[in-house]
Amino acid sequence: MEETEATAIGTADNAPRRPLMLITNDDGIFAKGIRELVKALRPYGEIVVVAPDKPQSGRGHAVTLDAPLWYMVSKFDDADRAYKCTGTPSDCVKIALYRIMERKPDLIISGINHGSNSSVNILYSGTMGAAMEGAIHGIPSIGFSLLSFNSDADFAAAALYAARITAKTIENLGSLPFTCLNVNIPCLPESEIKGVKVVRQGKGEWIEDFVRHFHPSNKRPYYWLTGGFHDLEPESTDTDTWMLDNGYITVQPVTVDCTDYAALKSMGEGWFD
């Protein structure tokens, strides 16, 4: 694909312009993942970064209501402008849309996250919380995650595929209103990635424990959350979980409509008559 094909979009007078991209994350503005993402997307449009000033993993779609928000200019190679914000990833998107950016971005991209956001992890993910915030505003949005928690992980393949998927999304702006894409990428060299699959979310749960410790000064107990992921359908081969385990990048369309339509139909057939 030629760069001009990926970056030129129409305006009211049909004059081409480069897409405006808002980029955020939940690992913080200094994380390697967002730095590699911005570098990879630099050829595809104008980039404004608004990201948390510290890690905000596991914040989901949380917003800050009990404290003031601050943002300030931050140095960021390859971005046109960058700001660090004291809030959550969703806060970053909100304040970017309403206070920082002069016009609505064409695309919101969150990531590249350090760690998986497949299966039920999407419900806890600050990365996907930011992407969902974009979808709520009708802005095409993508959350990218690499299956590695290593702060210095190799993002080469992830950044390459993030650029390809972003370019394809730019070609199809407006085709998925109020939907965002949850993209998970195995931590593998490019040569070992088998391809990209559009899949459904796998069913799973976290088996958790709260490990008890005692504070050294007052001996009061405190607890630290630990646990492991349990796949509830390990035999299913059409899920994000299975595809990732077998070397594929997964793309899951996610909508802001949380309605369970099967339950809606069954409950509407006489439950409360």
| pLDDT tens sequence across 107-154 | 999 999 999 999 999 999 999 999 999 999 999 999 999 999 998 999
Among the residue ranges 18-22, 171-175, 214-218, 256-260, the one predicted with the least confidence is 171-175
- Which of 188, 185, 175 lies closest to 253 in space, CA to CA? 175
Q: What is the mean pLDDT of the chain?
A: 91
Using pLDDT thresholds of 50, 70 and 90, give the confidence band for residue 247. very high
Which stretches within the chain are classed as H helix?
3-7, 32-41, 89-95, 121-124, 126-136, 156-171, 240-245, 261-267
- Secondary-structure class of domain 3-202+235-257 per CATH: alpha beta
DSSP state of 200: B
Provide the pLDDT for residue 7. 47
**Cβ–Cβ under 8 Å, residues 186 and 158:** no
Global confidence as pTM:
0.90
DSSP state of 15: -
Between CA 113 and CA 83 the distance in angstroms is 18
Distances (CA, A) of 145 to 155, 218, 252: 10, 40, 12
Share of the chain above pLDDT 90, in %: 80
3-class DSSP assignment, residue 66: coil
Is it the case that residue 4 has pLDDT exceeding 60? no
Provide the pLDDT for residue 177. 83
> Is-cis flag, bond preceding 47, omega within 30?
no
**Cβ–Cβ under 8 Å, residues 52 and 113:** no
Provide the pLDDT for residue 208. 83
Which of residues 244 and 12 earns the better pLDDT score? 244
Using pLDDT thresholds of 50, 70 and 90, give the confidence band for residue 98. very high
